[in-house]
């Protein structure tokens, strides 16, 4: 993948320093040559947090870990009472993940602040760089934990959620060095954050198709996550006639196909639907499956269309269960509406990109990000960096250092404008 060169390719950031840090962090939890497994609140996650904390301090920030496992670095500004500018993303990964997802947003933000410090640029307000805890949600089946904790949006029962080994989130937080007892004394201060900016790989193929190294996000699709459990009756696979079976796996399979067909129904729409995890009981070759638990993930930037899909899928699950004599439950794990980026922040990004000789396209984000949660408490915007073949959540995930540097440079330039108290008017 050849990087598109900007007309004016002068970076203020130190691109090589940023690249070296990305590679150093990738060594923690490495699987194979290029893969990463750094699950939230794991020993590998803690080691990564400690490494990044050192870089924050090297950049001139004071750094701490809050009760929710978020790593927060603070670059002091002139006005301690002014709402802060927040930059960041996450460093936890999927179990079979890549080196760049989330990471470039945290390390790019540190690079932006370190460049400000090295250039003697004083901010009017504090700048906070955050590595949010458990954005991915793969370990405890509910993501954006750190961002939701910071903004006072945790739900009942979240600490009791257990991973596949039976470790609860409460236990994992304690092992990580956090004390959930501090939650009771924590309250989010409305208006404390002026704006949030997040640098992230696209995790899709649009920028590569357009031959653009970076893009500006217009909004984030609203995700709905379910855990569905269908229960039938176990029996001998060789002796129970097909007409008399209550096969939970057949019911699950029909729902999977139906979800795929619903998501494909409007080819021009950005609707997506996925069943990514299935657990079968008793899980034996010659026993009819009695119970199947599976996840459902569907998303759309248009709320009305997504809500219609949700209702149709519920009806299909009901119909399939009646047809096969199954009982079922649907647990809603996540439900967020689509969220659009602030116009004034997009204006700053477009203007600063033009100063770099770039004209990045606007594009929506199908994946959710920490920005999704932050959008409920402050204005937000995102910068996307092209990734090869759109591959992510996979060891083959790759973004060229030149493209990452352009994204980090744009983040730096936009942060400087906001830190100096300038608005979209320039």
Beta-carbon-side half-sphere exposure of residue 343 (alpha carbons within 13 Å): 1
Strand 214-220, strand 362-365: pairing: parallel
- CB-CB contact of 377 with 151 (8 Å): yes
What distance in Å separates the CA atoms of residue 6 and residue 334, rounded to the nearest whole number? 40
Q: Are strands 278-281 and 291-300 parallel, antiparallel or unpaired?
A: antiparallel
Tokens 């700053």 correspond to 348
Residue 101 marked in a binding site: yes
CA dihedral 312, 316, 319, 321 (to 10 degrees): -140
Residues sharing a CB contact under 8 Å with residue 366, sequence separation 6 or more, in sequence order: 203, 204, 221, 270, 272, 299
Q: Which two tokens stand for residue 68?
A: 């929710």
Q: Are strands 291-300 and 272-274 parallel, antiparallel or unpaired?
A: antiparallel
Single out the residue of 128, 342, 392 nearest to residue 220, CA to CA: 342
Task: Report CA 178 to chain centroid distance, whole Å.
Answer: 22
Place of tokens 């937000």: 380
Distance between CA atoms of residues 129 and 266, nearest Å: 40
Q: Which two tokens stand for residue 24?
A: 């150093």
- 156 contact partners, CB below 8 Å, separation of at least 6: none
User: Which of 68, 71, 40, 73 has its CA nearest to residue 183?
Assistant: 68
Distance CA 410, CA 357 (A): 11
Q: How wide is the angle at C-alpha 312 spanned by C-alphas 308 and 313, nearest 5°? A: 115
Give the Cα separation of 138 and 421 in Å (integer): 38
Q: Helix, strand, or coil here: 389?
A: helix
369 in a known ligand binding site = no
| Nearest partner of 367 among 259, 211, 225, judged by Cα | 225
Chain CA centroid to CA 161, Å: 19
What's the CA gap between 426 and 422, in Å, rounded? 6
Contacts of 388 (CB under 8 A, 6+ apart): 1, 208, 396, 397, 398, 399, 400
User: Does 236 appear as a known binding residue?
Assistant: no
Which residue numbers belong to the known binding site for Zn(2+)?
A: 90, 101, 136, 200, 393
Which residue numbers belong to the known binding site?
A: 90, 101, 136, 200, 393
């Amino acid at each position: 993948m050849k990087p598109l060169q900007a007309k004016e390719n002068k970076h203020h950031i130190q691109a090589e320093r940023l690249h070296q840090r990305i590679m150093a962090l990738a060594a923690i939890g490495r699987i194979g040559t290029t893969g990463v497994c750094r699950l939230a609140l794991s020993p590998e996650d803690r080691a990564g947090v400690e490494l990044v904390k050192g870089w924050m301090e090297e950049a001139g920030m004071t750094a701490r870990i809050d009760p929710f496992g978020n790593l927060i670095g603070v670059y002091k500004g002139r006005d301690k009472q002014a709402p802060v500018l927040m930059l960041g993303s996450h460093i936890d990964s999927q179990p079979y993940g890549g080196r760049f997802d989330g990471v470039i947003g945290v390390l790019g933000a540190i690079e932006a602040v370190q460049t400000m410090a090295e250039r003697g640029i004083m901010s009017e307000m504090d700048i906070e760089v955050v590595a949010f805890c458990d954005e991915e949600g793969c370990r405890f089946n509910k993501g954006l934990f750190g961002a939701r904790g910071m903004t006072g949006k945790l739900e009942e029962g979240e600490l009791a959620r257990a991973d596949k080994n039976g470790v609860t989130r409460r236990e994992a937080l304690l092992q990580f060095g956090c004390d959930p007892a501090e939650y009771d004394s924590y309250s989010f201060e409305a208006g404390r954050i002026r704006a949030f900016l997040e640098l992230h790989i696209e995790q899709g193929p649009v920028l590569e198709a357009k031959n653009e190294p970076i893009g500006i996000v217009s909004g984030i699709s609203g995700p709905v996550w379910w855990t569905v459990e269908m229960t039938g009756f176990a029996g001998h696979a060789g002796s129970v006639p097909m007409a008399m079976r209550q096969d939970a796996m057949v019911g699950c399979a029909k729902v999977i196909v139906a979800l795929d067909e619903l998501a494909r129904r409007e080819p021009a729409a950005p609707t997506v639907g996925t069943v990514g995890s299935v657990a079968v009981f008793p899980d034996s070759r010659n026993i009819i499956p009695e119970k199947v638990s599976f996840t459902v993930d569907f998303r759309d930037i248009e709320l009305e269309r997504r809500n219609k899909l949700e209702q149709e899928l519920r009806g299909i699950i009901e119909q399939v269960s009646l047809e096969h004599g199954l009982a079922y439950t649907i647990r809603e794990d996540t439900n967020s509406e689509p969220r659009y980026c602030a116009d004034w922040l997009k204006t700053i990004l477009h203007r600063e990109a033009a100063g770099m000789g770039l004209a990045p396209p606007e594009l929506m984000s199908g994946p959710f990000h920490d920005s999704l949660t932050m959008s409920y408490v402050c204005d937000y915007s995102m910068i996307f960096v092209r990734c090869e073949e759109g591959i992510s959540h996979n060891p083959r995930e790759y973004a060229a250092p030149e493209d990452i540097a352009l994204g980090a440079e744009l983040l730096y330039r936009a942060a400087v404008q906001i830190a100096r108290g300038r608005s979209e008017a320039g």
